Structure 1
Amino acid sequence: MSSPEFTIEISPKVARIWKTFPPLISALLPHSEDAYASPLSEEALIRKLVEGHSPTILLPTEIRDWPEDQPLHSDLTPRTPLASGRYQRQIIDSLTPEQLCKSVGSHPDAVALKAGLLQLHDDLDASHRSSQSIEGRGRHQAGDYWHAIMHRREPDYSNSKYWFRHVGEHPIFPQLGQYSASIATEFNHPQVSDWSLRLQQGKNDWNPMTFVDLAQSTARTPGPLQSFAQRLQRREMWLLLESTFQDVG
């Protein structure tokens, strides 16, 4: 099954995803209908990838940064999983870590990857089942980080902080601090600027406890501050998914 049997043409807005992750993982992530083009239906394409078929991936010349609009929603406290990803969630939940990743050097991180994929689909319960099964394990305790995110979104803010204390320092923290500073200038809003500075007052320029406080303060209040928190959360999950995948190998 090593020869290419079908093609997938990737949109520039999700090219970073398909360049970073294998086709199966990329296809299992939530996306808009125009994220890629294939002669197969989405379900048929995923079935082919699960079976081990190798597509030709047509990436655009332009590889943009992590998408700002994928997933389509980044609710701080989602009530239900994304309706559009029901089939993808079923597949993610059914696959073993070894089926999801071709090479598994760290089994706990492969389980954490499942937790992350499900979290991006807003399936908090299924994500929780995976993350809590690998407590304290993994190269950077990615499962505990996904566990903390799940409780922050549940929301159970004190429990989220408990799990962030388990995580300690994480390699994505400096990037989150830099991203916070970068997008805060776009909002040009005093509250956003204040929270951005507070978020960066931690080791490696990021304080996850402060982010929990921000999420709690704005979860039910639409406006610039909530939009700021949603963008931070989306970037946090993309960076953590990338880091988790790297730790699997």
Structure 2
Amino acid sequence: MDTFDPAAYGPAFAPLLAGDRLRTLGSGRGDANARRTLQAVTLATVFRDAHLVDLDMARCCLAGLWLLHDFLDESHSISQQIETPSGSFWHGVMHRREGDFSNAKYWFRHVGPHEVFSELGPAIAQLGLGDSKAVQRVTSGGAFDPYAFVDACEAAVRSGDDLACREIQRLEWEHLFDHCYRTATGA
């Protein structure tokens, strides 16, 4: 995946995915209008133009949507009920964003060797973040290291120098969402 195109996920997902996906490393502040829109979202409405072959992965997409719009509690309610590596991945990202770094690592231990990890290493290198310490930590060996990324985010939150981690987090979100959507629809 070279670039993330919201239209690639169908007309129902496109407006929910459009806009800035560069989120804060923290919990953020969800918009009331977005909450109302997301509360009306169901698997049937957002996947109406696709044939679902994996309901857990479709639910992962919903967890990702809530997280994208900074509604961590709603994302958590969904991801904690998905007992798959991708469900644990979303769960770990949510805990990392809420600042519960040890719990984030706990959930990343449940993920195992996720396909997205191997995609993220080269994709992060292409971001052009130069000699960023965050990039060096999380792509050691060429693949994405989620534990090192948790540590990098914690350090970035403390130092206030978080742009590199926010860019990596955006890329992580896009790759994980794409993986979940493709698996949910058998694409």
TM-score norm. by structure 1 comes to 0.66
How far did residue 30 of structure 1 move?
5.0
Is contact 2:27–2:97 with CA below 8 Å preserved after alignment? yes
Is contact 1:131–1:144 with CA below 8 Å preserved after alignment? yes
24, 27, 37: which one pairs with 1:78?
A: 27
1:122 aligns with 2:58: no
Q: How does 1:226-237 map to 2 (within 5 A)?
A: 226-237=162-173
How far did residue 15 of structure 1 move?
7.7
| CA–CA distance in structure 2, aligned partners of residues 187 and 105 of structure 1 | 37
47, 50, 54: which one pairs with 1:101?
A: 47
Q: How does 1:20-169 map to 2 (within 5 A)?
A: 20-31=8-19, 70-71=20-21, 73-81=22-30, 83=31, 86-102=32-48, 103-134=51-82, 136-137=83-84, 141-169=85-113
* Residue range with higher mean Cα deviation, 141-150 or 98-107: 98-107
Task: State the identity as a percent.
Answer: 30
Q: Which has the higher strand share?
A: 1
201, 206, 218: which one pairs with 2:156?
A: 218
Structure 2 equivalent of residue 35 of structure 1: none
Local SS of the residue matching 2:140: coil
How far did residue 233 of structure 1 move?
0.3
Provide closer, same or farther for how the CA distance between residues 90 and 205 of structure 1 changes in structure 2, counting only shifts above 3 A: same
| CA–CA distance in structure 2, aligned partners of residues 201 and 187 of structure 1 | 15
Residue deviations 1:126-171, cap 9 Å, x none? 111111121x23xxx3221111100000010011001111111111
Q: RMSD of the TM alignment (CA)?
A: 2.1
Provide closer, same or farther for how the CA distance between residues 235 and 187 of structure 1 changes in structure 2, counting only shifts above 3 A: closer
Provide closer, same or farther for how the CA distance between residues 90 and 30 of structure 1 changes in structure 2, counting only shifts above 3 A: farther
How far did residue 125 of structure 1 move?
0.8
Structure 2 equivalent of residue 17 of structure 1: 6
* Greater relative CO, 1 or 2 (CA 8 Å, sep 6+): 2
Provide closer, same or farther for how the CA distance between residues 187 and 88 of structure 1 changes in structure 2, counting only shifts above 3 A: closer
| CA–CA distance in structure 1, aligned partners of residues 170 and 105 of structure 2 | 19
Q: Which runs of 5+ in 2 are unaligned?
A: none
| CA–CA distance in structure 2, aligned partners of residues 211 and 15 of structure 1 | 21
Which stretches of structure 1, 4 residues or longer, exceed 6 Å deviation after superposition? none
Is contact 1:144–1:164 with CA below 8 Å preserved after alignment? yes
Is contact 1:114–1:130 with CA below 8 Å preserved after alignment? yes
Larger Rg: 1
Q: Which has the higher helix share?
A: 2
| CA–CA distance in structure 2, aligned partners of residues 164 and 206 of structure 1 | 12
